[in-house]
Structure 1
Amino acid sequence: MEKGVPIRSLSRGIAVLQAINRGQSLSMMEIARTSEVPYPTACRIVQTLLHEGLIEREPSRKRYRPTALTQTLAHGFQGHAHLVKTARAHLVDLTRSMGWPVSISTHVGNSMVIRDSTHALTALTFSNYYPGYALPVLECASGLVYLSHMPGEERASILHTLKLMDRDRSRHIIHLLEHEGLAEQIRSQGYATRGNNQFTHNPGKTSSIAVPLFDEGRVAGALTLAFFAAATKMDNAVQQFVEPLRAAARAISDDLARLDKAA
């Protein structure tokens, strides 16, 4: 990696914007905490984002939210339309049979980005999560299962970049992936879990299980089921949900393979 890369100020600016975009409406203290950016620095970044029109302050209280201008950051991005279209029926079937919402996410930079979900199809959810919602790759089950199933050199490169972000929350997970065999364990069992998810609209209220999705033999994303943390213990959730998730993931991968052959 070239000397001086990444630029810390730019990395922090992106982290603040992502935090506001995830939270939809955050106080200044919440922005600093969730982005893991020092409070004075976060304040300066927020003022810059206000100036650029990417965020706005709510009229009646000291909270900040994204504006429609943030959508311009996605112009030119083609997404994963074939994956979403192929998987949609399987997502709907899973939610109808199990009740809990499921989603498909793919890797972008330091995040896993939701491409489609069934949160709107079930009452067993605290919030709807629409395409574009981003989760830190090391802080979600989908990110852990994705990293664990990608080639070792690619995973090492991503982890090297994440180290340079200098976030306390990430160091322990990076250590587990690099030195404690976490990636091998996840690959062996075929799924990853994350309890009491913090980077959601309702921090700590949900837990998740994710399995990998493959396209042409390479991991292409993750299929994730979210459930109320207070309703189901993780061990019970694994027993109930892993096999249906695996079956759906295999069906999606098989459908993708048929599309690739027909193309």
Structure 2
Amino acid sequence: MEGAHIRSIGRALAVLRAVNQQGAMSMMQIANAVGIPYPTACRIVHTLQEEGMLEREPTRKYYRPTALVNALSHGYQDHSDLVGIARQELEALTAKHFWPVSLTTWVGQHILVRDCTHALSPMALTNYQPGASFPLVECASGHVMLAFSEEEQRQSWLDASENFDLAPDQHTLLRLREPGFAAQVREQGYVLRGYNQFTNTPGRTSSIAVPIFSEGEVCGALTLVFFSVSMKQETAVERYVPDLKKAALAITAKLAGQDGGAVRPIETHGTMALHAGI
């Protein structure tokens, strides 16, 4: 049936993604990371070994990706200049505000960190690296990219998220499906996500994300992360959103110069934020 979710494939891809990001994991770590029973993790890992995607380390019962994983990226097209174009803006934002800033795009049901300034920030709780990923429907950058996507594409992603093993709470999905969600975010031009739960330090950070465009379509986001208890959320919006929008618009303009795409303006009016639990 068209649109049907094959759970075993989803789980196998989740295992491969987890091991690829970590570098090497034990079977129990894999089961916990993906949220599946230990016997299921064993079957999936052994299947991926047979397919040549994973291998066991010689001296311990840890599993790591093989060189064959690289073949999965052949033919993949992306905004190859995005990271180079955005780097100066990321560094400038962290130099001014001290908080870490990330450049993200989406891959499947996840948001992928393409570049970040966690290593440059004196106030980063975790030193995330490019390649880290977070659930699309759980983070500010995912919400802002959903809001600026076409309706059909947005609903397709949300449908897939409901069938994913690490699906969010239903309240979040219902909020993202509301007719006014996209209009509200487009009006204000940003998403604020308070007390992030998907990070390595649950509840201790909040995020503000703004969209980046290429050829008139949203292609990524800039996200600034700050300590949840360091200031009121409305203060963070007032203090950081203008500079985030300015940086995102500069990146969008540079991308247009690279690929000839049209610059899509980012709305700068409106101060209503989307808070935790939406």
TM range (shorter): 0.7 to 0.9
Matches within 5 A, 1:98-247: 98-165=97-164, 167-179=166-178, 181-247=180-246
Deviation of the 1:162 alpha carbon: 2.1
Structure 2: gaps spanning 5 or more residues? 262-278
> Structure 2: how far apart are the matches of 1:20 and 1:208?
26
**AA in 2 matched with 1:80:** H
Between 1:8-17 and 1:36-45, the stretch displaced more is 36-45
> Structure 1: how far apart are the matches of 2:242 and 2:49?
46
> Structure 2: how far apart are the matches of 1:46 and 1:81?
32
Deviations 1:13-41 (A, max 9, x none): 11233344455676766644543434542
Contact 1:21-1:65 within 8 A present in 2 as well: no
> Structure 1: how far apart are the matches of 2:58 and 2:141?
32
What is the root-mean-square deviation of aligned Cα atoms in Å? 3.0
Size of the alignment, in residue pairs? Answer: 259
Contact 2:23-2:65 within 8 A present in 1 as well: no
**AA in 2 matched with 1:74:** S
> Structure 1: how far apart are the matches of 2:193 and 2:33?
17
TM normalised by structure 2 equals: 0.78
Taking only the aligned residue pairs, the percentage that are identical comes to 46
> Structure 1: how far apart are the matches of 2:13 and 2:245?
34
Deviations 1:91-136 (A, max 9, x none): 1111111111111111221111111111222222133333222211
- Give the structure with the higher percent helix: 1
**AA in 2 matched with 1:188:** E
**AA in 2 matched with 1:199:** F
1:147 and 1:56, CA in 2 relative to 1: closer, same or farther beyond 3 A? farther
**AA in 2 matched with 1:206:** T
**AA in 1 matched with 2:216:** G
1:14 equivalent in structure 2: 13
Deviations 1:138-197 (A, max 9, x none): 111111100011111111122222223265525332211113633332222211122333
